[in-house]
Amino acid sequence: MSPDQLQLNAQRRLQEFDDAGETADLDPLALGQKAVEALDEFLNYWNDRSYMQGDRESHPSQNPLRPYAERQIEWAEREKQRVLGLVGRTNGFTP
**3-state SS of 59-79?**
CCCCCCHHHHHHHHHHHHHHH
Check whether 82 has a pLDDT greater than 90. yes
- Give the model's pLDDT for residue 32: 92
Residue-wise pLDDT for 29-76, tens only, equals 899 999 999 999 999 999 998 888 876 555 555 778 888 999 999 999
Q: Quick one: which of 33, 13, 40, 37 has its CA closest to 88?
A: 33
**What is the CA angle 10-15-20, rounded to 5?**
130
Least confident window among 8-12, 22-26, 64-68: 22-26
Chain centroid to Cα 76, Å, comes to 3
pLDDT band at 91 (very low <50, low <70, confident <90, very high): very low
The fold of the 3-87 domain, in CATH, is: Methane Monooxygenase Hydroxylase; Chain G, domain 1 (1.20.58)
Count of C-beta atoms within a 10 Å radius of residue 75: 17
